[in-house]
Amino acid sequence: MPTFPAVLLPAEGPVEGLIGEVDALPLADSTVGAQRAAALRAVGAELVDAGALAADQPRLVLRQDAVVTGAALQALLAVGGAGDRSLQVGGAVEQLCGRVRFGDDSPVVGILSDGRGDARARLAAAPAQVAPPGGRVVPFPLAPGQFQDEQIELPISDLLAAPLTHWLQLLWWNLLRLAPTLLRGLSSLNPLVAVPRLCGAAWRAGSLRPMAVAAQARRLDAGAEVHPSAVVQASWLGPGSKVGAGAIVRGCVLGAGAQVEEQGLVEGTVLAPGARVQRKAMVKFSLLREGAMAGGYMQLGVLDQNSAFKLTSALLDQSFGAPVEVRVGGRRCTAPYGLAGVCLGARSVVGAGVMVAPGRIVPPDLQIMPNPNSVLRRIPTALRGRVVIVDGGLAPADAGGAP
C-alpha cells in the first residue's frame, strides 16, 4: 500500500485527572502514541509536518487527544471519493463510546481533500463515514435493582476511534482494548509457540472445549514468574512480571516488572510497567500506571504514576440510589452505566481505613490519612465490657455515643 501523508492535530491540554503527555498514557500492552503509530503503519500512512505538504495534497488528519486503531483507519481509507470525510464507528462500539464521550461528538480522524483553511474546523465539519460494525458483544449482568442498567454490553472489536480528554475515557478505552490485545497476545502464527501454549491451557482446563481452553490460556514473556499455587487465566504477563502465592489473575495485561503479590485478586485490569497489586488487595476493571501500588479495594478506577492506597482503604465505584457523577471540564456528567471509580492523582497516597467516594479525582501529591480521633492511641486498663473510641481513647459504649 502506498504511503499516505498524515497530519497530527496537537492535544489542546492534558487528560483531565492525569499527568504527562497523551502519547505516554498506557493502552493495554502499549501506549496511546505507540498504538497510533501501529495504526498508521497498518494502512501505510506516515506522520509528516503539514508545512511540508503541497496545499492541494489530500491528507489523513488525526487528533492527538484520541485513540484510533488500525482497523478504524482501514475502514476510513476503504471509502474512496473526493472531498472531506470523517469516521464514525458503528454498532455496539459506538453505543458504548456515546456513553463515554461526555457530549464530545466531534470526529477524531478524517481525510481532508487539501490543506487549505483550519484543519481542526474542517475535520469537525466533515461528513461522517460510518464504519460497519464488527466483532461481537459480551454481556456482563449487573445486580438487579442497584444500577441504571441490568447489564453492561462490552463489545469485542478492533474498531475504535474516540476522544481521550478525561481519565474515565482512558479507563474505558483500555477495557475495550483488553480483549483484542489478549486474543492477539495469547495466540501465535508460529505453530512451535501456539501448539504447546494451547496444550498447556487444555491440560489446566481439563477439557478440550474452546471456551474452557481459552479461559486457561496465558502468555508469559521472558522472566515472568507465576507461583505454583497462583491462578492465572486468559492473561498476558510481560517481561519480568510476577504473580505471588495464592494470587488470582484473570483477563489482565501485566506490563514489564509488574507484580501481583500473595493472595491478590486482579480481574480485567491493565498494570503498566512497574505497577503493583499488594498482598490481599482486590482490583477489578481498573488501570494502574507506572509505579502505582494498590493495597486495598478498587473497581473501575485509575491510579496515576507512583500513587498508592493502603490495605483496608477503598476507592468506591457506585452510589446506591443514584448514578455516579463525574466532573468533566467543570461540568457534572453521569458516568457510563452510572458507575465510576476514583482517579488517584500522581504520587498521592490514601492511608489505611480511608474510603474515597466514587467519581472523584484526587489531586496529585496529597497524603490522605484517617481522622486521628478515630485511631486508638490510649488504652486504659480499668475498662470492661463494650467500649468505643472517643478522641483517641476508650470510653464505655453507653457514655461515648454510638452503642
Share above pLDDT 70 across residues of the chain, in percent, rounded to a whole number: 89
Same domain, 355 and 396: no
Is 15 a member of any domain? yes
Is 208 a member of any domain? no
Q: How confident is the model at residue 400 (pLDDT cuts 50, 70, 90)?
A: very low
Looking at the predicted structure, is the pLDDT value of residue 35 above 80? Answer: yes
Does this model's pTM top 0.85? My answer is: yes
- 313 neighbors 350 (Cβ within 8 angstroms): yes
Angle, vertex CA 350, rays to CA 262 and CA 341, nearest 5: 85
Tens of pLDDT, residues 353-365: 999 999 999 999 9
Same domain, 161 and 19: yes
**Region 142-162: what's the mean pLDDT?**
76
Same domain, 230 and 163: no
* 3-state SS, residue 27: strand
Same domain, 57 and 144: yes
Predicted pLDDT at 3? 77
Predicted pLDDT at 131? 85
Predicted pLDDT at 211? 46
**Region 201-226: what's the mean pLDDT?**
68
Same domain, 150 and 248: no
Q: Residue 325 sits in a domain of what CATH number?
A: 2.160.10.10
Q: How confident is the model at residue 147 (pLDDT cuts 50, 70, 90)?
A: low
Is 162 a member of any domain? yes
Looking at the predicted structure, is the pLDDT value of residue 143 above 80? Answer: no
Is 107 a member of any domain? yes
Question: Which of 111, 141, 172 lies at the terminal end of a domain, its last residue?
Answer: 172
**Region 280-285: what's the mean pLDDT?**
97
Same domain, 10 and 75: yes
Q: Residue 126 sits in a domain of what CATH number?
A: 3.90.550
Same domain, 223 and 349: yes
Tens of pLDDT, residues 241-259: 999 999 999 999 999 999 9
- 85 neighbors 116 (Cβ within 8 angstroms): no
Question: Which of 172, 198, 225 lies at the terminal end of a domain, its last residue?
Answer: 172
| Weakest-pLDDT range from 46-50, 97-101, 207-211 | 207-211
Q: How confident is the model at residue 327 (pLDDT cuts 50, 70, 90)?
A: very high
Is 381 a member of any domain? yes
Higher per-residue confidence, 382 vs 80:
382
**Region 116-145: what's the mean pLDDT?**
83
Same domain, 293 and 391: no
Domain that holds residue 384: 372-403
| Weakest-pLDDT range from 51-65, 119-133, 386-400 | 386-400
Looking at the predicted structure, is the pLDDT value of residue 1 above 50? Answer: no
Residue 50 to residue 64: CA distance in whole angstroms: 14
Could you tell me the three cell numbers for 78? 476503504
Is 223 a member of any domain? yes
Residue 203 to residue 133: CA distance in whole angstroms: 36
Same domain, 226 and 127: no
Indicate the number of domains in the chain.
3
Residue that has been written with the C-alpha cell 499455587 in this structure = 229
> Beta strand pairing status for 349-350 and 367-368?
parallel
Q: How confident is the model at residue 91 (pLDDT cuts 50, 70, 90)?
A: confident
Q: How confident is the model at residue 184 (pLDDT cuts 50, 70, 90)?
A: confident
Question: Which of 143, 172, 201 lies at the terminal end of a domain, its last residue?
Answer: 172
Is 70 a member of any domain? yes
Could you tell me the three cell numbers for 400? 461515648
Same domain, 381 and 362: no
Same domain, 271 and 160: no
**Region 100-120: what's the mean pLDDT?**
93
What sign does the CA torsion over 267, 247, 209, 177 have? positive
Same domain, 293 and 380: no
**Mean per-residue pLDDT over the chain, rounded:** 88
Is 352 a member of any domain? yes
Residue that has been written with the C-alpha cell 472531506 in this structure = 84
| Weakest-pLDDT range from 83-92, 205-214, 360-369 | 205-214
